[in-house]
C-alpha cells in the first residue's frame, strides 16, 4: 500500500500543535464544505472531489428553463440533504461555544448543520438551503413546504432519480433529464422562487458581511484566534476574513485536508480531518 503523501511545508498532521497554539484564546470559527463531508455531504474542492459547475445567479434568472433544471436537480438533492445529521466536528464547535471558548462562528455552508448541532450564534454567510425566498415579494418560507408542493406536482420524480446521482454541497443533484419537471411559484404573489442562498455571481448581503467583519475584528492578537475548518478558501467570500485577521495580527489556524489559498496567511495548518481535530480541541474522545 502506498504511504500517504507528506503534508505541505508548514503543515502538520498532529492536532496537538493546534491545541497548543489555540490554548486559552478566544476563538472565532470560519467553516467550509470540508466540515460537512463526514455528514455525507460532499465538498467542492477537497481531495478526490469531482469538478462542479454550480448554477450562477444570472443563469437562474434567465428564464423558466434554467429554473426548471435547477429545481428538478435540487428537489432530488434536498431529499438527501434534509436527512443529514451533524458530525463530531459540528458537535465539537457547539461544545466550544457552550463552554465559552468560541465567541462566534461564520459558515460558508448552506446545510444548516451548525444550528442543528446547537449553535446559538452561527452566521450563515451564504444563506440556508432549508429556506426559500420569492424574488418578487421577498417572502421567505420553509423549504419543506416547497418540497411537498414539488412532490405533488411531480409524483415519483425523486424516487426515479435519487438512487443514481451524486449530490453537491449546495443540494444540487446530478440529474441529467429534467424536461417536464413542473416548478412551483410563490403562493403569495406568483413570483419566482429561489433557494435562500447566495448563488455564484450574487452578492452576500452587506449587513451580513459587516457582522462577520465585526466578529473577526473583536479578536485581539493577545488573546484571540481565527480557526478555519474545512475550507480551501478558494473564493474571496471567506478568504477576506482570514486576511482581516492576519492584518490585525490575530493568529490563524487552518484545519483542512489539502492546501488552501490562505496557507501563507496562517500560523499553522493541520492537514487532517475536521471531525477528529475539532473533537480533540473540544476535549472530546
Q: What is the spatial order of strands in the sheet that 268-270 belongs to?
A: 11-12, 268-270, 252-255, 224-229, 26-31, 102-107, 122-124
Note whether 85 and 116 are within 8 A (CB). yes
* Side-chain half-sphere CA neighbours of 243 within 13 A: 9
DSSP summary character for residue 8: P
Would residue 196 show up in a list of annotated catalytic residues for this protein?
Answer: no
Q: All 3 cell numbers of residue 150? A: 414539488
Helix (H) or strand (E) segment spanning residue 74: helix 64-81
Residue indicated by cell numbers 499553522: 268
**209-213: long-range contacts at Cβ-Cβ below 8 A with a sequence spacing of 24 or more?**
209/125, 211/123, 212/106, 212/123, 212/125, 212/241, 213/241, 213/244
Of the residues 126, 148, 161, 196, only one is catalytic, namely 126
Residues forming the active site: 126
Amino acid at each position: 500500500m502506498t504511504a500517504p503523501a507528506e503534508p505541505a511545508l508548514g503543515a502538520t498532521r498532529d492536532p496537538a500543535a493546534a491545541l497548543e497554539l489555540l490554548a486559552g484564546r478566544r476563538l472565532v470559527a470560519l467553516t467550509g464544505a470540508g466540515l460537512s463531508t463526514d455528514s455525507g455531504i460532499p465538498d467542492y474542492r477537497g481531495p478526490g472531489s469531482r469538478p462542479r459547475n454550480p448554477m450562477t445567479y444570472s443563469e437562474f434568472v434567465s428564464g423558466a428553463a434554467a429554473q426548471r433544471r435547477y429545481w428538478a436537480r435540487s428537489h432530488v438533492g434536498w431529499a438527501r440533504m434534509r436527512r443529514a445529521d451533524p458530525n463530531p466536528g459540528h458537535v465539537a464547535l457547539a461544545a466550544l461555544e457552550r463552554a465559552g471558548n468560541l465567541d462566534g462562528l461564520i459558515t460558508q455552508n448552506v446545510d444548516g448543520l451548525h444550528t442543528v448541532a446547537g449553535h446559538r450564534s452561527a452566521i450563515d454567510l451564504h444563506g440556508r438551503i432549508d429556506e426559500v425566498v420569492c424574488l418578487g415579494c421577498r417572502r421567505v418560507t420553509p423549504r419543506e413546504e416547497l418540497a411537498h408542493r414539488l412532490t405533488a406536482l411531480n409524483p415519483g420524480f425523486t424516487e426515479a432519480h435519487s438512487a443514481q446521482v451524486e449530490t453537491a454541497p449546495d443540494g444540487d443533484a446530478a440529474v441529467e433529464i429534467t424536461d417536464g419537471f413542473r416548478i412551483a411559484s410563490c403562493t403569495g404573489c406568483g413570483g419566482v422562487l429561489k433557494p435562500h442562498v447566495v448563488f455564484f455571481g450574487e452578492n452576500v448581503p452587506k449587513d451580513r458581511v459587516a457582522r462577520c467583519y465585526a466578529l473577526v475584528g473583536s479578536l485581539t492578537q493577545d488573546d484571540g484566534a481565527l480557526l478555519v475548518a474545512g475550507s480551501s478558501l478558494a473564493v474571496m467570500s471567506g478568504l477576506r476574513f482570514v486576511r482581516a485577521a492576519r492584518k490585525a495580527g490575530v493568529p490563524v489556524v487552518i484545519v483542512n485536508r489539502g492546501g488552501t489559498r490562505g496557507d501563507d496567511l496562517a500560523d499553522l495548518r493541520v492537514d487532517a480531518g475536521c471531525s477528529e481535530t475539532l473533537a480533540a480541541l473540544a476535549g472530546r474522545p
